[in-house]
Amino acid sequence: MGFACVDHHRQIRRGFPEVIYCPGKTTEQIIKIFESLAAKGTNVLATRAEQPVFEALARTEKFPKARYEKSARAIVLEQKKPKPSKSVIPIVTAGTADLPVASEAKVTAEIMGQRTELICDVGVAGLHRLFGHLPKLQKANVIIVVAGMEGALASVVGGLVSCPVIAVPTSVGYGSSFEGLSALLTMLNSCAAGVTVVNIDNGFSAAVTAAMINRKIETGK
């Protein structure tokens, strides 16, 4: 979904940003690609970018509007203000440790013009905190749920709402969580209808999917 093949990049969809997946690329390669994409006048998103990469980009003094989202490990260049969505996409996390992945989803969704709201620390260990947010969850067109450990939160949310739930397993947890595999399998085996699962720690893909769903509902296009 926008991460690259031969030329390292491509546009996701009309109105969506150009995206660079930074791991595996040198700082020089990232800057060169960033410059190429920015020259088109579109918004640019660089995911999984470390702070030194952003600092090197800033030293070029070519992109004064570029900013670094530390929690999301993302570089954002907004050259065209996207029209905000009418509805809000809730991004629900089981725990604070899931915030980096949730932040990646938030940054991605917002540069695609989606309004978002983070709802944090409502996992099964403190499930009572989830119920205070139920009214807004039940109004949503689509919800992103981010959880590690055993990944049960996606099933819980899926059983309480009547909209698609995009589940993101994270690599948070003790040894038997197998770096997110346990959460992934739990989410894939969810008995709650309407739960769809992306790859481990992939907040980016969850946000792209949620943005497409919400945009389709709101615009019919």
Is 10 inside any structural domain? Answer: no
Q: What is the pLDDT of residues 79-129, one digit of tens each?
A: 888 889 999 999 999 889 999 999 999 999 999 999 999 999 888 888 889
What's the chain's average pLDDT?
89
**Is the same domain home to 108 and 202?**
yes
Pairing of the two strands 88-93 and 165-169 = unpaired
Distance separating alpha carbons of residues 23 and 42, to the nearest angstrom: 22
Distance separating alpha carbons of residues 86 and 217, to the nearest angstrom: 10
Give the count of alpha carbons within 13 A of 117, CB side only: 13
Q: What CATH number is given to the structural domain containing 198? A: 3.40.50.1970
**Is the same domain home to 117 and 210?**
yes
**Whole domain around residue 61: which residue ranges?**
18-77
Is 6 inside any structural domain? Answer: no
**Is the same domain home to 25 and 112?**
no
3-state SS assignment for residue 185: helix
Residue 59 binned pLDDT confidence (cut-offs 50, 70, 90): very high
Is 62 inside any structural domain? Answer: yes
**Are 166 and 143 a contacting pair, CB within 8 Å?**
yes
Q: What is the pLDDT of residues 142-186, one digit of tens each?
A: 999 999 988 899 999 999 999 999 999 999 988 888 999 999 999
Distance separating alpha carbons of residues 57 and 74, to the nearest angstrom: 12
Query: What is the structure's pLDDT at 220?
Result: 74
Query: What is the structure's pLDDT at 221?
Result: 63
Is 57 inside any structural domain? Answer: yes
Across the range 190-201, mean pLDDT stands at: 93
Residue 4 binned pLDDT confidence (cut-offs 50, 70, 90): very low
Give me the residues paired with residue 19 across strands. Answer: 45
Percent of residues, the chain, with pLDDT higher than 90: 72
Query: What is the structure's pLDDT at 9?
Result: 42
Query: What is the structure's pLDDT at 213?
Result: 94
What are the contacts of 20-24 at 24+ separation with CB within 8 A?
20/44, 20/45, 20/46, 20/47, 20/49, 21/47, 21/48, 22/46, 22/47, 22/48, 22/49, 22/50, 22/53, 23/48
Buried b / exposed e across 87-105, counting CB within 10 Å, b at 16+? ebbbbbbbbebbbbbbbbb
Q: Provide the number of structural domains found in the chain.
A: 2
Distance separating alpha carbons of residues 43 and 187, to the nearest angstrom: 33
**Is the same domain home to 116 and 195?**
yes
Q: What is the pLDDT of residues 12-55, one digit of tens each?
A: 455 578 899 999 999 999 999 999 999 888 899 999 999 999 99
Q: Which residue in this structure is represented by tokens 């070519």?
A: 62
**Phi, psi of 161, deg, nearest 5:** -125, 165
Residue 218 binned pLDDT confidence (cut-offs 50, 70, 90): confident
Q: Which residue in this structure is represented by tokens 């031969």?
A: 6
Query: What is the structure's pLDDT at 177?
Result: 87
**Is the same domain home to 69 and 92?**
no
